[in-house]
Structure 1
């Protein structure tokens, strides 16, 4: 959505970004030698191969690691442990972040960024960078203390039942606060 808002600044009246993946956190990137081998040697030869070097992220979504693993098993949108195709991984890991870094200042669409400061999937510091560099005059950022990646919108009673494991009260509170902040921001612009 951020990419589209940069390319078409008047298409949206505003965008709400939850833990946006604009860049790949240094902590999640494979070692530089692995990156270069995949990018320059293997990708041109085998773009369809599911070889993308990616760390297991299942246990990083929530402060209770088992919640992420269980959610992965019941989520129909999950890749169920499959690795992205090499060409896809290269585009998401290299091409898009490089393009986004060059175009951050071109974001003029009003936006709200919501991010947890304990997010190990996407880096809250990179969301702060977007906020600081974007040229939009109507922009806001909310950094939720102690919140992990999935806790901003996933900690709902029904989902706890589906994964067979209840969320902690502070996880419920984070999701409730995030959804409330988003509704308030959107409501003020309708």
Structure 2
């Protein structure tokens, strides 16, 4: 099964089709909504699954995959192609735009408190799980979304809910920020003070990420062509402080994780440090864990040449399918 990325072009992830035509072609039922979170913000949510009205009807659903996108990304557009590909394999896939991203409310690109986003994810994913109680549920996170996925699991562990997720897939997770992109000293030491005085103050504290995220330049341009592209600007002091604290939290507490785990990572990722991801992987308490590093690949694995990315995606789908087959639901 070819990944839908083969149909994309610089202008649209759906090629020459409209979004609805694209879903119809792939026999996907797509639903979207807004969720009111605890802060009274409208959070955009959506789901994809095989269309049950097609002839012949699709087989029963195999599981739920809850997806979390990265910083300055969204759950639609390019990220959505993975959701469609996973749904075509027989899964119910769900995702949300995190605060300040995509169609969700919030200051663009500003994350003053990562705990609020973790809470949003748990709130939305809980509704999907309640509606599908017999399906095994898996988490999927990319970049910052990978860090959020880990923190979601750690938060639910605090609530004695270790068995909520049957597995977790992390793609280039933010377990540590590459030294080449960390704030220069002494700015890193001053961040808590700056963030407390002026949390939304946007300053140049890292190098531009886009040029080191997508190896295929046309895919980087595709991200910029999203009709929902927001003017994120430079990251705020509070946002970067949240990133650094999240990495520290993950490194200190990852040994508590017991969830089956797959990490896929580009060896040449200069945004999220593969060495930090490997260190976290080694410390994770699960006996069922796999770390797959892809030589020569950058941060956004879908940003690699299509044939190479298909190898990455096949690794992910094989892992998910094996997990589903071995589970007793």
TM exceeding 0.5: yes
Q: What pairs with 1:1-190 in structure 2 (closer than 5 Å)?
A: 1-8=149-156, 9-40=162-193, 42-51=194-203, 53-64=205-216, 66-67=217-218, 69-75=220-226, 80=231, 82-93=233-244, 95-150=245-300, 152-155=301-304, 171-190=305-324
Larger Rg: 2
Backbone CA RMSD of aligned residues: 2.0
- In structure 2, the CA distance between the partners of 1:77 and 1:111, relative to structure 1 (3 Å rule), is farther
Q: Which protein is richer in strand relative to its size? A: 2
- Which is richer in helix? 1
Mapped contact 1:51–1:84 kept (Cα < 8 A): yes
Which runs of 5 or more structure 2 residues have no equivalent in the other structure?
A: 1-148, 157-161, 325-329
Contact 1:59-1:68 at 8 Å conserved across structures: no
Over 3 Å off, 4+ runs = 66-69, 75-81
Instruction: Give how far 1:140 is off.
Output: 0.5
- For this pair of structures, how many residues does the alignment match? 171
Question: Are residues 182 and 69 of structure 1, via their aligned partners in 2, closer, same or farther at CA, if it must alter by over 3 Å?
Answer: closer
Residue-by-residue CA offset, 1:20-41 (whole Å, 9 max, x unaligned): 012212221122212123332x
Q: 1:121 to 1:2 in 2, by over 3 A?
A: same
Match of 1:163 in 2: none
Is this contact kept in 1: 2:262–2:291, CA < 8 A?
yes
Report 1 or 2 for greater relative contact order, CA contacts < 8 Å, sequence distance ≥ 6: 1
Inter-partner Cα distance in structure 2 for 1:19 and 1:32: 25
Report the TM-score when normalising by structure 2.
0.48
Residue 15 of structure 1 contacts residue 111 of structure 1 at CA under 8 Å; is this kept in 2? yes
CA deviation map 1:119-175 (0-9, x unaligned): 11111111211221111011111101111112x2345xxxxxxxxxxxxxxx22221
1-side partners of 2:249 and 2:204: how far apart? Answer: 20
Task: Determine the C-alpha separation between the residues in 2 that align with 1:83 and 1:102.
Answer: 28
